[in-house]
Amino acid sequence: MQRVVIIGGGAIGSAIAYFILADRAFRGEVTVIERDPSYARASSALSASSIRQQFSTAINIEIGRFGIGFLREAGERLTVDGDAPDIGLTEPGYLFLASHAGASVLERSHGLQRALGVDVALLEPRELRSRFHWLATDGIALGSLGLSGEGWFDGYGLLQAFRRKARSLGARYLDASAAGFTTSRHRVTGVVLADGATLDCDVAVNAAGPWAAAVARWLGIDLPVRARRRCVFVFNCPTPVVPCPLVVDPSGVWFRPEGRGYICGVSPDPGSDPDDAPLDVDHTLFDEVIWPALAARVPAFEALRQTSAWAGYYEFNTFDQNGIVGFHPEWGNFALANGFSGHGIQQSPAVGRGIAELVVHGGYRTLDLSPLGFGRIAAGRPLTELAVV
Ligand SMILES: Cc1cc2nc3c(=O)[nH]c(=O)nc-3n(C[C@H](O)[C@H](O)[C@H](O)COP(=O)(O)OP(=O)(O)OC[C@H]3O[C@@H](n4cnc5c(N)ncnc54)[C@H](O)[C@@H]3O)c2cc1C
């Protein structure tokens, strides 16, 4: 009988709870501690919720392949009492655009992506213009277009679907704040709540999203994950731009359709990207960086009208911008699922399944997620992902 306590009930924590309880070999109970069931500041509720296969590392590509398969079947797999959730998955692809300087990176990643079965095509500027009449290809040497398996979905809907299914399988969600651990001989024996109560456990999981470093610190672990604000701007355009994938410009500015309009964003310069910035929208980012880039890339966007905006936190891994997943090497019953740096919601199915395999079977059984283990941080060996948006 295993008692599993998960700190954080966002998409990652709820996916882990679901996959553990869906495994028939599991004997035990799962408690998810979530301090804000409204998810007002949770990344999973403030995400752009897009999914792609176009990464530069094999592990992220494999995770993306499982992710899209899972999302396609989410209605069926996460049905509760005959009620199938609709997560609104649509697959218009990602289009990464590169200047001459960046073209070789696209080519290198393309080789790996094709070897792993990704449905992706490299397109010259002429081919890009013929597919996307609205696109200006000035300064573009190459584009990489996902032909299937990439797009976007309702991230909050996925979080709620994981949560509801996990509860239907027996997960207990506790509206409480975790505040510390009890330990014995380098094992976590309990999770202490802010009201002083302790939940005894055999396994503790850190799924605290942007706040994961604070949880790790209770064990003296220095987790290189910081809350970094990212703003998303919503706009309309009088002239429809169709068909439109999620476009990533060489400037780093991205945009995609959302409902009848579009959303867009950009990561700020590292020099203006402090930890824990308040979740207020930085409008200068749109005026000074995003709008000029949009208007240059899509002439029709010169007439756009920005209508609203929001801000949320990336759980930014300052070491190598990749997830940190698996049991901690020194705290053998403390699992990490943190630091996804802008690609966490699409990775929630594979990470949920992976952590569940570690908990239930003592090792990975399907996809080996050990390249994402904490060991690389301890050893100072970054797993560098070149396609970070
Ligand atoms: C603007 C934006 C755009 C994004 N776009 C994409 C995208 O296109 N594709 C993609 O894959 N990913 C994207 N992401 C990233 C993705 O949303 C996150 O990686 C993912 O949602 C992380 O999920 P999580 O469950 O770890 O974190 P969260 O959803 O933040 O959940 C963590 C939960 O832990 C709880 N918690 C923390 N500490 C405690 C404690 N001590 N006690 C109790 N509860 C606690 C919090 O209340 C929170 O609900 C984006 C993120 C943002 C902000």
Below-50 pLDDT ranges, the chain: none
The residue nearest atom 12 of ligand 1, judged by CA position, is 343
The correct CATH number of 94-151+226-314 out of 3.40.50.2000, 3.30.9.10, 3.40.50.20, 3.30.70.260 is 3.30.9.10
Locate 113 and state its tokens.
Answer: 């992506």
Cβ(258)–Cβ(285) under 8 Å?
Answer: no
Q: For the full predicted model, state whether its pTM sits above 0.95.
A: yes
Q: How many Cα neighbours within 13 Å face the side chain of 192? A: 11
Distance in angstroms (rounded) separating the CA atoms of residues 339 and 223? 9
What is the predicted pLDDT for the residue at 113? 97
- Angle CA 89–69–75, to nearest 5: 55
* CA-wise closest residue to 8 among 27, 31, 28: 31
What was the pLDDT predicted at 387? 86
φ/ψ of residue 358, rounded to 5: -65, -45
Dihedral angle at the C-alpha atoms of 18, 320, 314, 323, nearest 10 degrees? 0
Summarize pLDDT for 212-239 with one digit per residue, the tens.
999 999 999 999 999 999 999 999 999 9
Amino acid at 78: L
Cβ 260 vs Cβ 236: under 8 Å: yes
Exposure class string for 156-182: b at 16+ Cβ within 10 A, else e? bbbbbbbbbbbbebebebbebebbbbe
**Is the CB of residue 216 below 6 angstroms from any atom belonging to ligand 1?**
no
**7 ligand 1 Cβ < 6 A:** yes
Q: What DSSP string runs through 17-65? A: HHHHHH-TT--EEEEEEES-TT-SS-GGGS---EE-S--SSHHHHHHHH
The Å distance, Cα 252 to ligand 1 centre, comes to 22
Mean of per-residue pLDDT scores for the chain = 97
Q: Compute the residue count for the chain.
A: 389
Written as one letter, the residue type at 124 is E
Pocket test for ligand 1, best of 345, 347, 388 (most atoms within 8 A of CB): 345
Q: How is the chain split into domains, by residue range?
A: 2-84+154-224+319-378, 94-151+226-314
**In this structure, which topology does domain 2-84+154-224+319-378 adopt according to CATH?**
FAD/NAD(P)-binding domain (3.50.50)
- Half-sphere exposure at residue 311, Cβ-oriented, CA atoms within 13 angstroms: 17
DSSP 282-329: -HHIIIIIIHHHHHHH-GGGGG-EEEEEEEEEEEEETTTSS-EEEE-S
Residue 300 C-alpha to ligand 1 middle, in angstroms?
34
